[in-house]
Amino acid sequence: MFEAVIGLEVHIQLNTKTKIFCVCATSFGEEPNKNVCPVCLGLPGALPVLNREAVKKAISFGHAINATIHKRSIFNRKNYFYPDLPKGYQISQFEVPIVENGELFIDFEDGTQKRIGITRAHLEEDAGKNIHDGDESKVDLNRAGTPLLEIVSEPDIRSAEEAVLYLKKLHAIVRYLDISDANMQEGSFRCDVNVSIRPKGDDKLYTRVEIKNMNSFRFIQRALEYEINRQIEAWEDGVYDEEVYQETRLFDVNSSETKSMRGKEDSAEYRYFPEPDLKPVIITQEMIDSAADIPELPDQKQERFVKEFGIKKYDASVITSSVEMARYFEEMISEGASPKNSVTWLTVELQGRLKNGLTIENSPVDAKTLAKLVKRIEDNTISGKAAKDVLDHLIEKGGDVDEVIEKLGLKQLSDDSAIEAMVDEVLSNNADKVEEYKSGKEKLFGFFVGQVMKASKGSANPAVVNKILKEKLT
Ligand code: ADP
Ligand code: MG
Ligand code: ZN
């Protein structure tokens, strides 16, 4: 009788070549403090200049989520002290973000969708990194000044599962748009989770707890499950007011618990004020229009796949959940595999076999090869069961589909006369059973099929065996 209320703040790193207010490179994994200059080091007198590419990417995101794009927005200083923030403030947007009032749709297994509102998306600079190494703490400022788009959702999400669906959809959208590599391990897509609970039916918002800096779907799910449960238990035990208060918590991966980190700052504590070194961001209609030319997005692709290929809506949502998978699927179809079998062989058989860091992107079996395998099932060269062995082999050792079929001796026998000979033999060896069958014991049919399959060592095409047996037994 409780429900969770969740709102997410996602930081994505925009994939511009240079930082948001200077011309330092944004490349990842460089030697510490290599990509720095007076601007991103916060040296006195250095002045920021806004990167136009970052603005364009924010605008195309605004189009993708059907949002208002403000023609005039401003930057603010968000003041706080931390060693990885050399200026003592972060340049961010506060009152007027560049993008406001958008939406995205999450997909459920039954093919239905739910709308999640997006409050705003604003541009800001990233901080550097503190590295704690034994007794020493070091600061690497390569990341300081990297452009971020912070995307804030409405508290429309109602469970840990919905939160993950939202994040996956958002991840897909920014990858389709190619505005971020959204690499979670490298921190290009990270998330702060806000969560409260309430009795079902109540539409008030209760006290929320924030869980900071999560960069794995699985951890986000586990953190939310733990935290929702903690709050419900506190309510049921009558200690809600003592145990649930506005604070920031961290997820401990080892114990799967969330733990108190610090009290939550109120926005007033940041002493936001307009950034005096930057003019307001003025976006022309022309800039808005030229950024409107965005690639086909997951929802549109999904709809098209359903219409064009007749596949189920949910299957289409799985396939379009990543741009690589969608491309792979489309290539299979253009190679001549049927849509229905392509769905199964891509999402179940191939996906299920990709382990140890293998993904669709670096899959040892490419779309052309998988399509060929599917076609060999469809033209009755091999059975579906044999195809699984072929796929195992292709993943381990590679090779050509036809050669592997040959090598493993999996070619299916579809030649009518060869199968007919086996059927005749089975029937004459089992004359008594044939009599029983003819006098009404029809379930013996399966026995005959089994015997023929056995005689062919599993290579006979079962459809052909069935057909011939039926002819002979009537
Ligand atoms: P702040 O700027 O202090 O982080 P915001 O008002 O911008 O706070 O909200 C941050 C996030 O918290 C948003 O995603 C919002 O949807 C979510 N949120 C706000 N109130 C609640 C609540 N009571 N329960 C769950 N999430 C909430
Ligand atoms: Mg916030
Ligand atoms: Zn710089």
pLDDT tens-digit profile of 310-341?
999 999 999 999 999 999 999 999 999 999 99
Beta bridge partners of 175: none
Whether 241 contacts 207, CB under 8 Å = no
In this prediction, residue 158 carries a pLDDT of 97
Q: Measured between alpha carbons, how far is 218 from 302 in angstroms, rounded to an integer? A: 25
Ligand 2 mean position to 9 CA, how many Å? 7
**Cα 387 to Cα 349: distance, rounded to the nearest angstrom:** 10
Indicate the residue among 274, 291, 308 that finishes a domain: 291
The secondary structure element, H or E, covering residue 101 is: strand 99-107
Main-chain dihedrals φ then ψ at residue 292, nearest 5 degrees: -75, -15
Q: What is the pLDDT of residue 453?
A: 87
Could you tell me the distance, in angstroms and rounded to a whole number, from the CA of residue 27 to the centre of ligand 3? 12
Q: How far apart are CA 148 and CA 169, in angstroms?
A: 18
Residue 202 confidence (pLDDT) = 95
Same domain for 421 and 340: no
The residues lining ligand 1, judged by C-beta closer than 6 Å to any ligand atom, are: 5-9, 152-155, 194-196, 205-206, 208, 267
Q: What is the position in ligand 1's atom list of the atom closest to the CA of 8?
A: 14
Instruction: State mean pLDDT over 45-72.
Output: 97
Helical H runs in 21-159?
A: 52-64
- Among 104-113, 149-158, 283-292, top mean pLDDT goes to 149-158
User: Model confidence over 148-204: pLDDT tens digits?
Assistant: 999 999 999 999 999 999 999 999 999 999 999 999 999 999 999 999 999 999 999
Query: Which pLDDT value is given to residue 412?
Result: 79
What's the whole-number mean pLDDT along residues 133-149? 95
Rounded average pLDDT over 295-309 = 96
Q: How far is the CA of 263 from the centre of ligand 1 (A)?
A: 15
pTM of the model: 0.87
Rg of the chain, C-alpha, whole Å: 30
Q: Whose CA is nearest to atom 14 of ligand 1?
A: 7
Given a cut of 90, whether residue 461 has pLDDT beyond it is no
- 249 and 355, same domain (yes or no): no
pLDDT value of residue 308: 96
275 and 315 within one domain: no
Domain boundary among 378, 408, 438: 408
Same domain, 393 and 332: yes
Nearest CA to ligand 1 atom 1: 267
Residues 432 and 401 in one domain: no
- What is the Cα–Cα distance from 265 to 77, expressed in whole angstroms? 16
Which H or E run includes 287? helix 285-290
Q: For the chain, give the percent of residues with pLDDT over 70.
A: 100
Q: Report CA(177)–ligand 3 centroid distance (Å).
A: 26
Whether the pLDDT of residue 352 is over 80: the answer is yes
> Any idea which ligand is nearest the CA of 141?
3
195 shares its domain with 328 = no
Position in ligand 1 atom list of the atom nearest CA 156: 16
Residue 36 has pLDDT above 80, yes or no: yes
Residue having the nearest C-alpha atom to atom 2 of ligand 1: 267
Q: Are both 337 and 201 inside the same structural domain?
A: no
Q: Domain holding 449: CATH number?
A: 1.10.10.410
Of 211-220, 325-334, 364-373, the least confident:
211-220
Q: How far is the CA of 439 from the centre of ligand 3 (A)?
A: 90
Residue 8 pLDDT greater than 90, yes or no = yes
Q: Judge if 145 and 227 occupy the same domain.
A: yes
- Helix, strand, or coil here: 257? strand
209 and 333 housed in the same domain: no
The answer, yes or no, to whether residue 383 has pLDDT greater than 90, is no
Q: How confident is the model at residue 77 (pLDDT cuts 50, 70, 90)?
A: very high
Query: Ligand 1 pocket test: which of 6, 207, 208 has the largest number of ligand atoms within 8 Å of its C-beta?
Result: 208
Its domain, for residue 198, covers 2-291
The ligand placed nearest to the CA atom of residue 19 is 3
Ligand 1 centroid to Cα of residue 163, in Å, is: 14
213-251 exposure pattern, b = at least 16 Cβ within 10 A, e = fewer: ebbebebbbbbbebbbebbbebbeeeebeeebeeebbbb
> What pLDDT shows up at residue 442?
86
Residue nearest to atom 11 of ligand 1 (CA): 7
pLDDT of residue 415: 74
Which atom of ligand 1 lies nearest, measured to the CA of 9? 14
Considering the chain, what is the average pLDDT of its residues?
94
| Residue 417: predicted pLDDT | 81
Pocket test for ligand 1, best of 150, 194, 270 (most atoms within 8 A of CB): 194
Residue nearest atom 5 in ligand 1 by C-alpha distance: 152
CB 220 within 8 A of CB 166: no
Number of domains present in the structure of the chain: 3
Mutate to test the pocket of ligand 1, among 8, 101, 152, 209 (most ligand atoms within 8 A of CB): 152
Q: Which residue out of 9, 103, 150, 249 has the highest number of ligand 1 atoms within 8 Å of its CB and is therefore the one to mutate?
A: 9
* Residue finishing a domain among 291, 312, 339: 291
Asked if residues 107 and 132 have their Cβ atoms less than 8 Å apart, the reply is no
Amino acid at 113: Q
Nearest atom (ligand 1) to Cα of 194:
26
Q: Are residues 91 and 130 in the same domain?
A: yes
Residue 350, pLDDT above cutoff 80: yes
Residue 416: pLDDT band (50, 70, 90) is confident
Q: Which ligand is nearest to the CA of 7?
A: 1
The closest-lying atom of ligand 1 relative to the alpha carbon of residue 196 is 24
For residues 357 and 380, state if they share a domain: yes
Same domain, 400 and 432: no
What pLDDT is attached to residue 409?
84
